[in-house]
Amino acid sequence: MVRNYFAGSLSKKFGIKEGEKLPDTLIEYCLKSDELGDPHISSDHILTMELCSEETLELIDEYSLRINDILRSVFYVAGLNLVDFKLEFGFSKKDKSLVLADEISPDTCRLWDIKSNEKLDKDRFRRDLGKVEEAYLEVMTRLGLKL
């Protein structure tokens, strides 16, 4: 998870109001496991379990921060704040290289209108706010995309 603002579980965990800007971008790691509920893990857990090397973890952080910078700019121009988003990394079976294996969409990001803080992402579904499809179409329109 790459986080720019307090929201969702981060807000709940620390009792900080949603929408508070983080002083710096925060990267949180999760173990991809439906059975375990994708638990949060630390970099020490990752290295201890030998899920990847320290160099690979540094590369994941570097890629995550670069992707964050690019996405924040793209969404800002569209009138949206990129609150947070998830990325999934894995390894290629062919050559064991690091691979970004995820999409960027309102299903994987928290996107809020810059002026109104209206949620235009999956939280509309999670929180039963309604108009999920309309929100996703609004994001698409703002980005200049068409069906």
Residue 110 has what pLDDT? 96
Task: Tally the C-alpha atoms within 13 A of residue 133's C-alpha that lie toward its C-beta.
Answer: 1
N-to-C CA span, the chain: 28
Q: What is the pLDDT of residues 69-87, one digit of tens each?
A: 999 999 999 999 999 999 9
Residue 139 near residue 80 (C-beta atoms within 8 A)? yes
CATH code, domain with 39: 3.30.470.20
pLDDT-based confidence at residue 139 (cuts at 50, 70, 90):
very high
Range of the domain at 107: 2-142
**Structural domain contains residue 66:** yes
Is pLDDT at 90 greater than 80 in this prediction? Answer: yes
Residue 100 near residue 64 (C-beta atoms within 8 A)? no
pTM score of the predicted model? 0.90
What does residue 96 show for φ and ψ, rounded to 5 degrees? 65, 15
The count of structural domains within the chain is: 1
**Structural domain contains residue 112:** yes
Helices and strands: H and E segment counts in the chain: 5, 8
Is pLDDT at 103 greater than 90 in this prediction? Answer: no
**Structural domain contains residue 147:** no
Residue 143 has what pLDDT? 95
Computed over every residue of the chain, the mean pLDDT equals: 94
